[in-house]
Amino acid sequence: MQLPIKQISKELGISVSHINKNLILSKDNVKVEYEIGTKNVIINGSKKILATKSQFKNNVIYGEMNLLIKELGYTLKFDSFAGKIEILK
């Protein structure tokens, strides 16, 4: 499931910067870099491959956030019946 990365990150107090084709997020000694338009994400210098490509659509960057959420100690819950997402610490 792809989520609006910048908007959710800011709500969680994660620092966000957009440099060229990369979106860089950091908080609590965790640095995550999304290579927009690819499945690549770099977490604290270690490259990971996501299931889907992050994408820029309608002025919003969407991508998978499961790895980022886990690295920061959060839990992502999705209630498909209610269509609701919760991110818990």
Q: Dump pLDDT digits (tens) for 48-79.
A: 999 999 999 999 999 999 989 998 999 988 88
- Residue found under tokens 């999705």: 78
pLDDT band at 3 (very low <50, low <70, confident <90, very high): very high
Range of the domain at 39: 3-88
CATH number, domain at 81? 3.30.457.10
> Number of structural domains, the chain?
1
pLDDT band at 80 (very low <50, low <70, confident <90, very high): confident
Distance CA 81, CA 30 (A): 33
Sequence-distant contacts of 52-56: CB under 8 A, at least 24 apart: 52/2, 54/2, 54/5, 54/23, 55/2
Q: Dump pLDDT digits (tens) for 30-47.
A: 999 999 999 999 999 999
Distance CA 72, CA 30 (A): 7
